[in-house]
Amino acid sequence: MNINAVDFFSCSFQGATSKNNSLNDNFYKERSMLGGWTVSNRHPMQGGKRHKAGPILPDKQINKAQVQDLRNIIEKTIKKYATDNNVITLSGGKDSTALAHIFKKLNIPFKAISLYSDLSITSERPVVQQIADVLDIEVEYYKLDTIPAHMFEYWVENPYTAKCIALNDLGLEDHTLFTGEIGTGEMQINQSLQYTAMMGYQPQDLAYWHVNVCGSYRRINSVKKLSDDPIYDECVEHFYNRFVEWDRHPDVLNRVMFSRLQDEGAYRLFNYGLDSLKWVHPFAENAFIHTCVNMPSDVKGNKNLYRMMYPDLTDIPWRYPKSGLGIPSD
């Protein structure tokens, strides 16, 4: 369960009322079209419905928050939920590294674990060890060569499954589990910013891009219509309407960076909310997200908010291209 306030990303699936409902094939088609998640109100069963998060993220004006304000919010959140038994999963990426750094700065104890696979084509383990050396922490490495096939009832999120397997095997289920989900790296989408710099603000093009890039697992960056399927068109229309929702906000680059944030953020956090473990996502906390996305875009973009908040934060994750979890499914 998600124990901190993540209302901008909270959604729920309401089951069908009749026992005779059949599978909703269009839900699964949409899920495959977006790489494991959906944006409509479709449910896996006919007659069911998904309810998306209610709060609107963009404000009608740019706030006057400073980087120090973000630091204050994140530290307040961590202090509120941290216990004597905390876990951080170090992936070698920016978000989890920043999180571990903040814990060290606050002198809050935590156990660091990192997952790896001997069968993976790539491995983040050497990068994780460099980070551990700089932070002066011990990391427990957990080998998981493949992620077992898992039947997700709603949205498919394999890294969540891998974390749960490791935590259960290591006997850490009773700890407070901190993640870097919805970190600032999730917000700043370089390709869309580059396209806007070249072509101007083109929400229709970017709506196509969102569907194409998600459905191809980040391999296709086209801004063209690539399918005649009506569900594809529905997904494109959804993202276009997200841009319409963001029209209220005066900073165009914030619109470009954050138009997909609530949808993909809901996907990233959803499965964590279904179990009985105690998950905390400080970078998805209401106050942090709302403040961050409504700050002037020139504070963000290609700049690094984490290292602006913490100038002594190691730059190791920025030296290496992140390859993702890297553990294959069986």
- Give pLDDT tens digits for 51-77: 999 999 999 999 999 999 999 999 999
Nearest by Cα to 121 from 156, 148, 146, 157: 146
Query: Among the listed ranges 105-114, 150-159, 228-237, which one has the minimum average pLDDT value?
Result: 150-159
Kind of pairing, strands 49-51 and 12-14?
antiparallel
Q: Which residues contact 328 (CB under 8 A, 6 or more apart)?
A: 117, 119, 120, 145, 146, 147
Cα separation, 38 vs 290, in Å, equals 23
Does the predicted TM-score (pTM) go above 0.85?
A: yes
pLDDT on residue 218 = 82
Per-residue confidence (pLDDT) for residue 323, from 0 to 100: 58
- Determine the Cα–Cα distance for residues 193 and 257; give it in Å rounded to an integer: 7
Q: What is the pLDDT of residues 181-230, one digit of tens each?
A: 988 755 657 889 999 999 999 999 999 999 999 999 888 999 999 999 99
Mean pLDDT within 106-121? 91
pLDDT > 70 in the chain, percent: 94
168 phi/psi in degrees, rounded to 5: -65, -45
Residue 139 pLDDT greater than 80, yes or no: yes
Binning the chain into helix, strand and coil, the percentages to the nearest 5 are 45, 10, 45
pLDDT at position 184 is 73
**What pLDDT, in 10s, does the model give residues 270-320?**
999 999 999 999 999 999 999 999 999 988 766 688 999 999 999 998 887
Q: Looking at residue 45, what DSSP letter applies?
A: B
Of the chain, the percentage scoring pLDDT greater than 90 comes to 77
Q: In what order do the strands lie in the sheet with 139-143?
A: 139-143, 111-116, 86-89, 176-178, 278-280
| Overall size of the chain counted in residues | 330
For residue 253, what are the contacts with CB-CB under 8 A and spacing of at least 6?
A: 193, 196, 297, 300, 301
| Domains of the chain and any CATH numbers | 67-185+285-319 (3.40.50.620)
Terminal Cα-to-Cα distance of the chain (whole angstroms): 26
Mean per-residue pLDDT, 1-18: 90
Residue 17 has pLDDT above 80, yes or no: no
Comparing 37-41, 121-125, 309-313, the range with the smallest average pLDDT is 121-125
User: Above 70 in pLDDT, residue 328?
Assistant: no
